[in-house]
Structure formats: C-alpha cells, structure tokens
Structure 1
Amino acid sequence: MSAARTRSVETAPAAPAALDALDRRIVNALQGGFPLTPRPYADAAAALGTDEATLLARLRAMLARGVLTRFGPLYQIERAGGRFVLCACHAPAARLEAVIAAINAHPEVAHHYARTHHFNLWFVLAVAHPGAVAHTLARIAASAGVEVLAFPKEREFHVHLHLQA
C-alpha cells in the first residue's frame, strides 16, 4: 500500500507565523472537514468567499512556510482491511540520514519523525493486510541496518482537536 509521505523533524518552537484574515478562515474552516464533492477545493473556496486558485495557492504557501505541516485525509485503514503501526528505532547520529533514506525507500512508510531521545527516529507503517507487518518490518530493519520496534494500535481515540488560528 502506498501512502502519501509527510516528513517531519523535531525542531525548537518557531515564532508564531503571521496569518492574514483569509489564512485564518482557511485554517479554522478546513480543520473540521473537507467537501466530498467532484470539485472539493472549488466548493471549499466558495464557502470561504474566495476562488479555487486562491485557496490552493494559500494552502501551498502555508505548507511551504511551515504554518501547516500536513494537509490531507486521515484514513481508518483497518476498515479497508489494512493496518497502521507506529514504529521506532535508534539511528546513530553518524548514520541518521542514511537510515532515514533507507526507511523512506519503502512505500509502506507513511511518514517519519526525528526525536531527541534514544529512539530518535519514529515512523508510521501502512500495510494493506495485517499479515504483512512482520515481513515488511523485517525488510525495513535489514535495509536500514537498525532494530525496529513496533507499537501496534490497541485502541483508537478520537480527540477532535480544533485549534483556532
């Protein structure tokens, strides 16, 4: 299963980004959902009082500036028969970039995060069938040259966190 890839690295908190009124309306409105229509960006833009090209440009700009770290759907892969697994490993500092590249080379890796901890690299595995988890993690561990710890989801919580921009 191929997943959209989002990469993130832990950094010191940045100064708050300057958002104009339209950016704030976009962030506030789109946290709660996105139209499931033939032209979702056009329909979302119309509800915000703007046009599709402007909405797309604003989203791209906020992603480029780091105001948004990700814009996309959250899937409940288990409903489709698949599985998400949170994974962690220790990547030695001298090999960090090589380990990241080896892990990211696998299409089953949805995204990763570098952290300041012994287990300094975390990633999410997305597979089409639960039975593929062990084999896929073994391939990733072998290609990256690190031990991979798996933390399968035991229970799902829906927080519905909405932050006002």
Structure 2
Amino acid sequence: MRKPPPKLDAVDRQIINALQEGFPLSPRPYAEAAARLGLSENSLIARLAMLRDGGAITRFGPFFDAAAMGGAFCLCAMAVPAAQFDAVAAKVNAHSEVAHNYERAHQLNMWFVLATETAEEIEAAACAIEADTGLSVLRFPKEEEFFIGFRVVA
C-alpha cells in the first residue's frame, strides 16, 4: 500500500529547490550544501533520508545526460493493474537502466526513463522489464529536449 504524500515544511522545500540547482563538488559536499542552507551537515543528510523514505523524493543523486555522453535514453510507459503497481514498480526499479519512475493517474499509469550506453541497450532493457513483469513497455524515444524547472512552493 502506498504512503500518503508527506507534509513538507519550509526547510524541506528550501532543500528540494536549492539542491536541484546543483550540488557542490568538494571533499565535503553535504557540509558545503548544508552551510548554504543554514543547516548542519547531519541535519541535511537526515532530512534527505526522511524526504526519500517518506516518498517526497524518489532518489537523491546526480542526473547524467546519457545522450551528451554518447549514450541513449527513452521515455517508457506501462499500463499496470492497480493491485500489482507496487510489485511491478519494484521490478522495474531493480533495473539499473531505470533513471526514474513515476505513477500517473491514467491508463498508462507507470512512466519511467531508461538510460543506457547504446540505443540497442534501450531495447534490451525494455524487453527485460517486459519479461520480468509480463507487461508491455511502450517506448517513446526523444525527438526534442525540454527542460522544465520544478519548484516546491508553500
């Protein structure tokens, strides 16, 4: 059973918004990021864990532009029976090629991105997910790139 969305306080919103703009590349990146936010390093790490564990964020880590590095990526969608959603999500997310995965209120209710070193590996990963789940994976290769900023407001 899915958890209800967490309640975010002003500090949680500040963290989510600030860290989308970049993360320091330094010997102590969490300490540096925390200082910019007026927090201690341990407090920032604990809050990130709470945000992840509570479902406000699905992961915390770098986003690599696979195409810019010579790789490939593809937006994918699946129609997953509601009763199987969590189990299917776990199977999909177990594949290292899955960059992120979101639930949508639509017949195609699971959307995720595959990122691989080659275009051929996209097809192999999608086929592996189909074999693991018994469900079809629709592939939507990128035709044009858009950047949509995301901000959490009060």
Name the TM-score, length of structure 1 as normaliser. Answer: 0.72
Q: Residue type of the partner of 2:115? A: A
Q: 2:122 maps to which residue? A: 133
Q: 2:26 maps to which residue? A: 37
Match for 1:123 among 112, 132, 152? 112
Q: 2:9 maps to which residue? A: 19
Contact 2:91 2:132 in 1 (8 A): yes
Contact 1:81 1:130 in 2 (8 A): no
Higher relative contact order (CA 8 A, sep 6+): 1
Give the Cα–Cα distance (whole angstroms) in 2 for the partners of residues 110 and 144 of structure 1: 18
Alpha-carbon shift at residue 24 of structure 1 (Å): 4.9
Give the percent of matched residue pairs that are identical in Structure 1 and Structure 2: 48
Q: Give the superposed CA RMSD.
A: 2.9
Match for 2:42 among 30, 53, 68? 53
Q: 2:53 maps to which residue? A: 64
Give the Cα–Cα distance (whole angstroms) in 1 for the partners of residues 57 and 49 of structure 2: 9
Structure whose CA Rg is larger = 1
Name the TM-score, length of structure 2 as normaliser. Answer: 0.76
Alpha-carbon shift at residue 149 of structure 1 (Å): 0.8
Q: 1:76 maps to which residue? A: 65
Seen in structure 2, the aligned counterparts of structure 1 residues 135 and 162 have a Cα distance that, compared at 3 Å, is same
Match for 1:109 among 94, 98, 108? 98
Aligned residues: 153
Seen in structure 2, the aligned counterparts of structure 1 residues 164 and 78 have a Cα distance that, compared at 3 Å, is same
Give the Cα–Cα distance (whole angstroms) in 2 for the partners of residues 41 and 164 of structure 1: 23
Give the unaligned 5+ runs of structure 2.
none
1:159 aligns with 2:120: no
Contact 2:17 2:150 in 1 (8 A): no
Seen in structure 2, the aligned counterparts of structure 1 residues 117 and 163 have a Cα distance that, compared at 3 Å, is closer
Seen in structure 2, the aligned counterparts of structure 1 residues 105 and 35 have a Cα distance that, compared at 3 Å, is closer
